[in-house]
Each structure stands twice: as structure tokens, then as C-alpha cells.
Amino acid sequence: MTLNLSSSTPLTWQNRFARLGSDFSTPQPLRPLSAPYWVSRNAALARELGLDASWLASQEALETFTGNRALAGTEPLASVYSGHQFGQWAGQLGDGRATLLGDLQTPNGGFELQLKGAGLTPYSRGGDGRAVLRSSIREYLCSEAMHGLGIPTTRALCITGSDDRVRREEVETAAVVTRSSPSFIRFGHFEHFSHANQHAELKTLADFVIQHHYPACRDAAQPYAALLQAVSERTAELMAAWQAVGFCHGVMNTDNMSILGLTIDYGPFQFLDTFDPGHICNHSDNQGRYAYNKQPNIAYWNLFCLGQALLPLIENQEHALAALESYKTVFPKALENHMRAKLGFSDDAAQHDDKALIESTLKLLAAHQIDHTIFWRRLCSFARPAGRESVRDLFLDRPAFEAWATSYAARLAQQDPHASQALMYRSNPKYVLRNHLGEQAIRAAGVHDYSEVEKLLQVLQSPFDEHEDIAGHQALADFPPDWAAGIEISCSS
């Protein structure tokens, strides 16, 4: 089905997930919200998707992306999945508040568009199928921030709002985020069919994912073991990227793990302020299962669940274990590469004691409770005396800093100064979506002032740039205010 909503070429919807049939999803009626209004539109993503900017600003687009109007060519559906939540088998879950419109053929490949917060589905269980403006702004800004950081993620095209009331701890208002991704398939989709002993459907799903997203696996001697290995490797790369930038996801249940190794389902996430390895960002995570420093092991645990789900297809347990094993080599190597880049050490000059220096740097940050993002950004100019002083200013314990700085300076002196500084400036972002920044934008949006959302979107889409041209930019790169420590983010969204 072809529609003329783009400036040059017409848009084509090809609803490949829908074609999988009724075991995988249920057609979903659209559930309108009252008098929708725009909160934000992401012009950069619209361009990448081939959507015309003037159409995206139209009333038709507003109604389409609120779920108030069915766009010809789309086949709205809710998909079924299961999963492990907080370490326990949770049984059937599914798209409880997300409606997949279909996938759009774009110059950059197929992209599914999904409305999050679009109302009740057969998988809503006790929920209301809605999302509140607060959590929608967090998801919208953070997914674009991750993309700006170069970290694999689902994207967000726009937010619409409505004054319809949604009850959480307090009464809030409804919003819909339009997300895009090559696929929204999760580990939990595979677990669903495996646990139900639906092996034919399990195979159909695996073949679908291989065909559209991992074509190289098709030619492997064991395609399903190759798929598990490819997912393990992508997930390892993702975890390394999260750890290096100080990102805590908060709810790493297997239903929140993308089969494409993308960051997905932004809930109680947080970028670290001070570097606290045991930091727990999710107020509902009483045991600290998803603490920052546990994320890499949890990802492996989740991959193990995926491996178990794929066993009926892989058959030989040894092959599944061997596929998972790749995580253990790819993750540490990828993390080391990130950390060496952050320190300004180029790839071709790895030294055997770099690992010790990385460890001593992280220990120093943890012991002295140093702000993660600010430390790394200031370190970019360490080679200059004023730059070194600005890093030292972060430490009350000057001798501890000087002891570390002496060994770091000696190692850095072996690098080409221009190349290492350039490497650091593109490896250590100036801007991340700290909790308090999101909170300020949310508070303003509560009185229909979306200027903070726009400003953050602009800055976070290129977080390595200085952005000196933007009014108030420096505050966005500053230390968190005291009240930031009191922000409590839970699963409630």
C-alpha cells in the first residue's frame, strides 16, 4: 500500500510482522484520546524515515500518532510475548499498551512504527494501556540521547498529549510516544513460544528474525546457534556502551531485551551523576538486581534464557553454550576499547597495563564520589595545565588525585596529543539526560511549555558538541542540583 506523505518518494507500508499470523499478534482497534495536541516532533528522525516535515506538522499526523485516525496501509496490532521479570518466570505479557502500526519502507530500510500508550490491548492484564506525559517525555528524550551517543536504541518520532486523565500514584495526563525500530521483537517473544511448546511458531519466529535482521546466519552450519551468537555479541557491545557512558536501564527483564541488541523500553533509567558502581536507579528494585554494576551479568543471564528458549531449534546444548560463550570475550574487549578511548588511548597502541589504569581510574571515581560525566569531559583537556587543574578541582583529596594523575600523564604522553584529545572529545559526552534535566522539562510540559523538551532534544542529539550557541546550555552540562538526589523513579509509568 502506497501513500503520498513524503516530499519525494511515496511511502510504502509492508507489514511483515502482521504476516506472521494470529499466533504472534492480535489486530488492534485504535483507541482515541480526547483533543490531542503536539508535545514534540523529531525532525531529524522524520527526515531519516522519509516523512515530509509539513505532513508531520499536520492535523492528520497528530491524529495518526495519537491513535485517533487509521492511516491507510497500516495494520495495527498488539504482539504477544512472555518473559522473566526480576529473575522469575512471569508467563504471558505482551504489548499491553503498545500498538504496532506496521513497518515503513524507508531509504534506510524497514522501520516499524509503534504507538506507546495507545490504550487497552488483549495483553494489558490489569493495566490501563496508557502512558503518562512524564514517562513519555523521558522515553522520547532518552532514546534520542542514546542515538546521539552512538548507542544502539529504538528511536522516538514524536509525542502527542491529551488532557485525558491517567491514574498512577497521582492523577496525571495521557501521552503517546511514536517509537521506531527495525523490529520490536524481544527475547520474551522467543520465550513465549518455547515455554508453550509451540516449536513450529518458535522456528517461524527465528526464521523471520534471521531473514530480515541477521541474514548472515542463514548460511551458517547451525543457523539458530549462529543467531544466538550474533545476539550475544550485539548485546555484549550494548552492555559495554551502557557501562562506559554510565547508563542504568533499571528494568532488564527478558521482555525488555531487544533481539537486535538495541536499548528498548525506557522506564526508570538513569545516567549516573556521581560514579557509584552499586547505584540502583529503579525505586521498585528493592534487591538491587538491576544495579549499574550488575547490568553486564544480568544481560548474560538474560541471554541464557534466550538460549534455553532456542534449545528446541539448536538441539545440541553444547552448541548453545558455545554461542553464549562469545559474550564473555566480546563484552570485556568492547568495554576496554570504550575505556581506552575515554582515556585518549588510540587502538593501535594498547599496552598491557592499560587495564590496571582503567581500573584505578574507576576506583578513584568511586572512592571520591566524583561526577561521572563531568570527570570524563574535563579529562579531555587534561594535557593542558588549566585542563588538568579543572580535573583536580573535582577532588577534595588532592594527594589521591595527584598520585593517579602522575601515572595517567605518563601514559598519555606516549600518545599523539592532537589525536588523543580528538578521540576523547568524541568519546566523552558533554551532555547526558540527567534525571533532573528530564524532571525540569517534565515540570514545564505540565503547564504546556515544551521549550525545555525542544532544547534538550537539540542538545542531546549531538552530545559531544559544545553547543555554546544555545541559551542556558552550560546549565545542561552542570552538576546536578541538591534536589536531584530526591528524585524517585519507579516502574510506574
Q: Which does 18 bind (CB under 5 to 8 A by kind): Mg ion, ligand AMP, none?
A: none
Q: Which residue's Cβ lies closest to Mg ion?
A: 265
Region binding ligand AMP by CB under 6 A among candidate stretches 121-129, 314-322, 362-370, 455-463: 121-129
Q: Which does 130 bind (CB under 5 to 8 A by kind): ligand AMP, Mg ion, none?
A: ligand AMP
Q: Which three cell numbers stand for residue 491?
A: 516502574
Q: Which does 94 bind (CB under 5 to 8 A by kind): ligand AMP, Mg ion, none?
A: ligand AMP
Task: Output 80 or 314, the one with its CB closest to ligand AMP.
Answer: 80
Give the residue, chosen from 23, 128, 164, 336, that forms a contact with ligand AMP under the rule CB under 6 A: 128
* Least separation in angstroms between CB 371 and ligand AMP: 29
Give the residue, chosen from 265, 273, 371, 439, that forms a contact with Mg ion under the rule CB under 5 A: 265
Task: Give yes or no for residue 129 binding ligand AMP (CB under 6 A).
Answer: yes
Task: Give yes or no for residue 191 binding Mg ion (CB under 5 A).
Answer: no
Q: Which three cell numbers stand for residue 315?
A: 538441539
* Least separation in angstroms between CB 97 and ligand AMP: 4
Q: Which does 124 bind (CB under 5 to 8 A by kind): Mg ion, ligand AMP, none?
A: ligand AMP
Task: Output 94 or 152, the one with its CB closest to ligand AMP.
Answer: 94
Q: Which does 139 bind (CB under 5 to 8 A by kind): Mg ion, ligand AMP, none?
A: none
* Least separation in angstroms between CB 253 and ligand AMP: 6
- CA distance to 15, 16, 126, 386, per residue, from 19 (Å): 7, 5, 28, 61
**x-marked contacts with ligand AMP along 233-262 as a string, rule CB under 6 A:** ------------------x---xx------
Dihedral sign from CA coordinates of 387, 391, 396, 402: negative
Task: Output 265 or 273, the one with its CB closest to Mg ion.
Answer: 265
Task: Output 129 or 261, the one with its CB closest to ligand AMP.
Answer: 129
**x-marked contacts with ligand AMP along 384-423 as a string, rule CB under 6 A:** ----------------------------------------
Task: Give yes or no for residue 256 binding Mg ion (CB under 5 A).
Answer: yes
Q: Radius of gyration of the chain from Cα atoms?
A: 23
Task: Give yes or no for residue 493 binding Mg ion (CB under 5 A).
Answer: no
Give the residue, chosen from 41, 130, 189, 436, that forms a contact with ligand AMP under the rule CB under 6 A: 130
Q: How many of the other CB atoms lie within 10 Å of CB of 155?
A: 21
Task: Output 24 or 266, the one with its CB closest to Mg ion.
Answer: 266
Q: Which does 340 bind (CB under 5 to 8 A by kind): ligand AMP, Mg ion, none?
A: none
**x-marked contacts with ligand AMP along 265-284 as a string, rule CB under 6 A:** x-x-----------------
Catalytic residues: 255
Task: Output 256 or 420, the one with its CB closest to Mg ion.
Answer: 256
Size of the site for Mg ion (CB under 5 A): 2
Task: Output 251 or 476, the one with its CB closest to ligand AMP.
Answer: 251
Task: Output 97 or 436, the one with its CB closest to ligand AMP.
Answer: 97
| Cα 292 to Cα 242: distance, rounded to the nearest angstrom | 9
235 burial (CB, 10 Å; 0-12 / 13-18 / 19+) is: buried
* Least separation in angstroms between CB 440 and ligand AMP: 24
Within positions 285 to 324, which residues make up the interface with Mg ion, using CB under 5 A?
none
Q: Please, what's the b/e burial string for 73-84 (b: 16 or more CB within 10 A of its CB; e: otherwise)?
A: bbbbbbbbbbbb
**Interface contacts to ligand AMP, rule CB under 6 A:** 93-97, 123-124, 127-130, 251, 255-256, 265, 267, 491
**Interface contacts to Mg ion, rule CB under 5 A:** 256, 265
